[in-house]
Amino acid sequence: MTDSALAFVATNDLVAVTRGRALPLHELSPTSGVGWVPANLAINSFGRLMEPNPFGALGDLRLLPDMASRAALPLPSGNCDMFLADQTQPDGTPWECCPRSILKKALDRLAEDHGLSIMAAFEHEFALVDEHGKPEGPGAFTLSGLIGGEPFGAAARRSLSEAGVRWENWLPEFGPGQFEVTLAPEPALRAADCAIITREIIRTVAASHNKRATFAPLLHPDAVGNGVHVHLSLWRDGDPVTYDPSGRGGLSDVAQAASAGILDHAAGMLMWTAPSHISALRLTPHRWSAAGSFVGLQNREALIRVAAVPAGCDPSQAYNLEFRAADATANPYLVMAVLVHAICDGIDRGLTLDSVLIGHIDDEEFNALPVDLAGAITAFNNDDIAGGWFPPNLVEVALAVRQGELETLRGLDMQERCQAYVERY
């Protein structure tokens, strides 16, 4: 007797780990889904269930699969399709702490209050490492680096395409064994779905080639980091509205307000976009990451980068904002949700950009980002506006899981902490 085709009904939790339940594919129902437990949200990166938590042993949920999110997973043992799901109450109503539903609610706010939608694309960086967590192979954009990643790379790209993920670029990045895959723009919810699918496929394909792929923010305190860059463009009535050639940095008034909203809440947002206990190490000057809270024209150290438009492209279609202070320890739905809420607040208050940095960071003053997760948490707790973006139970659990991680890491130096995250991501 052979195992039938599987459906894995999945959610992505507060520490960006994809969890769920499998059942025979032919038994999958989009209206009843599979059972789930509220306290599962309280599992931290190192597999510890944090207690106490707001849920305890009480309650039941359902994971209702979004059938349009179906993605074939390349398992050598047989067929398995992953379906990303919304966590709901037994009666089908959304659960307030479901990250995917939280993003939907944020997008509804943007549409209802401002008539806007978002097209988005995630860029992922990851590294191939050996059994000791050491990176394998050359990098730095070389042909030998690309070839050294084969045949894993070919299998991963093929599997992404077969799963419905539209990828645009695959390249050996600057760090040893490091690669980057950039995805094509999609509506915001689909973009977050694709971010999760991409990570799981790359890890699965790597394992089938006797390799390990890690998306950990840093392999070593002094190493090149693995970031997740989120590209955003604003749309109204089917047309892009991000670009204005007369605007500061080429940004329209609404894009400037959106950017100013992100800058205004940047410090507290890092609790959700760069939430591990090593994430802040990347976010310092001269690491080609987000060095501070500013908008920069073609500047890879800006929190929000405005990229150049290639010759022959219509800038009104290609202009976008690149948010550079996220990594793969963050839930993609919550990354997108905090960005959307910050954008809404910037527009609500009619904020404007004081400046767009043109030139190097050493030439200007800008607001520094928190130096550690504790600083980001403090900033979030002091941000009365951002405090209303999420239900209190979600915030309580998020704080608990990160505190639990800190207890696991206590006594380890930064190199050992980086290694701990390499193993988990």
Half-sphere exposure of 19 (CA within 13 A, CB side): 21
CB atoms within 10 A of CB 348: 14
Mean pLDDT of the chain: 94
pLDDT value at 2 more than 70 = no
pLDDT value at 11 more than 90 = yes
Question: What residue segments make up the domains of the chain, in order of their start?
Answer: 6-95, 104-390+416-424
Res. 135 pLDDT band, cuts 50 70 90 = confident
Per DSSP (E only), the strands in 260-311 are 292-297, 302-306
Question: Which residues, in sequence order, are CB contacts of 100 under 8 Å at separation 6+?
Answer: 11, 12, 84, 85, 86, 87, 189, 192, 333
Residue-wise pLDDT tens digits, 70-85: 999 998 877 899 999 9
Residue-wise pLDDT tens digits, 379-400: 999 999 999 999 999 999 999 9
Architecture label for domain 6-95: Roll (3.10)
pLDDT value at 420 more than 70 = yes
339 phi/psi in degrees, rounded to 5:
-65, -45
pLDDT value at 363 more than 70 = no
Distance CA 42, CA 47 (A): 9
- Region 284-299: mean pLDDT is 89
Looking at residue 136, its pLDDT comes to 74
pLDDT value at 1 more than 60 = no
| Residue 418 contacts residue 218 (beta carbons within 8 Å) | yes
- Backbone region of residue 397 per phi and psi (left: phi > 0; alpha: psi in -120 to 50; beta: other values): alpha
CATH of region 104-390+416-424, choose from 1.10.3720.10, 3.40.50.880, 3.30.590.10, 3.40.50.2000 = 3.30.590.10
Shortest CA distance to 70 belongs to which of 162, 208, 168?
A: 162
Name beta bridge partners: 127: 178, 214
